[in-house]
Structure 1
């Protein structure tokens, strides 16, 4: 079993919070982790069991009254239970009464908004981070280190992985879903990802909303895959599917609630002028995106061009996970100005300190690769903590004031 860094946060929350939710995509490991935490002391119910689901929908209050402390898996399938849980924990406010899991954002489930406000803590569980896949016992401190300003030094180069581009490509294509990672064959992984997306779109999507053109959603996902990492243009996306812009935006919001994609807002602080305000859309798992695009390592050895958007998705997923474990917990943005100068990811902490991260699908870094980071640094002055270019080489390289090129493995070492 892979180590899961969220486990400590879940156990801590159970010690002082009445209801704790593990929230993330299907097959990310929520059930396995919930069973481990539950042990033998808690009743375990899954709403994927047809009989349990029928009981939950028919008599939610009766089912909850029969429980003392319990794990309820896939709570989004019977949102009626949340109000029953609220009544139960108001009557008996002991911490740790219920550990629930959900494969959809709880705030997106109909009729559940605010029903557990003040009584619940939500702990995200996304697919495996690289450090978890590699069995490291403690979460990497990359985010805290880059905001601290003293993480990188040229002499540290020997501490990083030196397997080069092939290792990076393999990690990107595998993604982070445990069942996919366990498959050594690229073809078998691609089969798993295609089946996974099909199951999500035919089963879980209808738990969130009634869609009058649900047959268009698989095609929409394919279109989004080919525009991963681009600025969002709802009308253009809709035009490819004979859907209006509002419908596309609504469907994408549902895909976000299922943790398949996420909008990344444009960074537009008060110090910046002439910036583009359009968000980008990233997939949360690079393996899933690679599966949708049909990418294989052999093809990428010959043509590196298709790797760019998938590598950005990989870094976005890693940053999202690392941020949830860090002390800083920064917000993640992108930056582009009217001159088309851009930075792939801009991280801002609560004190408005900023770290810029650029992603390059190459084994060589040039001074020109820091153009966007230096533009951001010039605008922000002392608020700019560090600029990092992540690349698939093996050495840490300084590039001037607060600028460094770092191997991708800096994210997990």
Structure 2
């Protein structure tokens, strides 16, 4: 088993909250991680039909069968459990329950109703690049990492990425989507997911997406929410505080995993990736998702934004921390060029941003400190050696 960075945050959360919720996409390693961390705790999966029936018909006796603390997997399937958990943990301060689930919206909606103030929240995403053993990652190119993606079965069980993502997508459609909303046309929904893949790293325009998918804007919003809920995609919000100039205020779209993104785009080999018209977007998505995971797997809520004005001047990533802003550009280029810093230099001139530092992360190997900021290769950037 490859150790997960989030383990320390999960253990720390359990010290302060009687209930810990670990969310994340299917196959990200939640069950494996929790069983490894707490081998002495009883475990129950509510996807097991018998367990599900027991919990639904007699929740009090179900929880009592553990004689104390327990791990409950896919707990959102029995929402009435949360009310009973509230009573248990209020009456016995020593109890600790760990809930896990792959449907963020359903879980959070039900947790906030019954366990507010009693639950600590953590999110386990697919592997971060820094979590891979050094012997695996040191010989891996940026393109190979983007193509293979980060889901544990691709590494733990050596499943070919194309085979894994094909089955993952089919399973996702059958299990999660049917539970979340009634979608009559799964073929059309599958096409919608692929259309989203073609917009990775770009401004999210719901109207354009609705036109291309031949569905209503309201349907786009509903279906896109499903993708967010299931940890398939995330939005990057624009940063537009204290500006007078005209700024883009629509979010950008990113996928949590570029292996799935490449599969949706029909990219199965590195040679295809290198010549694909979305190569730059895919590699930017890979870098963005990795920086996002670096924060999330340390128990942090990433304060990530981007900047873009109506003329197309853009900063890929703005990280806000303690009132200071870090500007980060993500470049698919492998050769340093001074123009890489031009966007950040422009924004500093025309705004009153309080910037702590400026960094360009690129796919090359050399490190430079320039008058405009720091140039950081992708490997040390993703392992935290030169950027945090």
Is TM more than 0.5 here? Answer: yes
Indicate how the Cα distance of structure 1 residues 70 and 178 shifts in structure 2: closer, same or farther if over 3 A, else same: same
* Greater RCO (CA < 8 Å, at least 6 residues apart): 1
Find the counterpart in structure 2 of residue 373 from structure 1: 344
Gaps of 5+ in 1: 137-159
d(CA) in 2 for partners of 1:61 and 1:244? Answer: 44
Asked whether the 8 Å contact 1:65–1:88 carries over to 2, the reply is: no
The structure 1 residue matched to 2:270, chosen from 297, 322, 325, is 297
d(CA) in 2 for partners of 1:225 and 1:327? Answer: 28
Secondary structure of 1:72's counterpart equals strand
d(CA) in 2 for partners of 1:254 and 1:52? Answer: 26
CA-CA distance at 1:326 after TM superposition: 5.7
Secondary structure of 1:385's counterpart equals strand
CA-CA distance at 1:258 after TM superposition: 0.6
Find the counterpart in structure 2 of residue 175 from structure 1: 149
d(CA) in 2 for partners of 1:240 and 1:382? Answer: 37
Indicate how the Cα distance of structure 1 residues 15 and 229 shifts in structure 2: closer, same or farther if over 3 A, else same: same
Find the counterpart in structure 2 of residue 89 from structure 1: 89
CA-CA distance at 1:271 after TM superposition: 3.9
Instruction: Tell whether 2:16 aligns with 1:16.
Output: yes
Find the counterpart in structure 2 of residue 405 from structure 1: 375
CA-CA distance at 1:111 after TM superposition: 4.6
Find the counterpart in structure 1 of residue 365 from structure 2: 394
Asked whether the 8 Å contact 1:183–1:189 carries over to 2, the reply is: no
Asked whether the 8 Å contact 1:190–1:294 carries over to 2, the reply is: no
Find the counterpart in structure 2 of residue 120 from structure 1: 119
Asked whether the 8 Å contact 1:176–1:287 carries over to 2, the reply is: yes
d(CA) in 1 for partners of 2:302 and 2:208? Answer: 31
Asked whether the 8 Å contact 1:21–1:100 carries over to 2, the reply is: yes
CA-CA distance at 1:109 after TM superposition: 5.8
Instruction: Tell whether 2:47 aligns with 1:48.
Output: yes
Instruction: Tell whether 2:84 aligns with 1:100.
Output: no
Asked whether the 8 Å contact 2:124–2:297 carries over to 1, the reply is: no
Gaps of 5+ in 2: none
Asked whether the 8 Å contact 1:285–1:317 carries over to 2, the reply is: yes
Q: Number of paired residues?
A: 380
CA-CA distance at 1:398 after TM superposition: 2.5
Indicate how the Cα distance of structure 1 residues 326 and 389 shifts in structure 2: closer, same or farther if over 3 A, else same: same
Asked whether the 8 Å contact 1:24–1:30 carries over to 2, the reply is: yes
What root-mean-square deviation, in Å, do the aligned CA atoms of Structure 1 and Structure 2 show? 2.3
Alignment TM-score, normalising by the size of structure 1 = 0.86
Find the counterpart in structure 2 of residue 7 from structure 1: 7
Which residues of 2 match residues 202-217 of structure 1 at below 5 A?
Answer: 202-217=174-189
Find the counterpart in structure 2 of residue 69 from structure 1: 69
Which residues of 2 match residues 154-173 of structure 1 at below 5 A?
Answer: 167-173=141-147
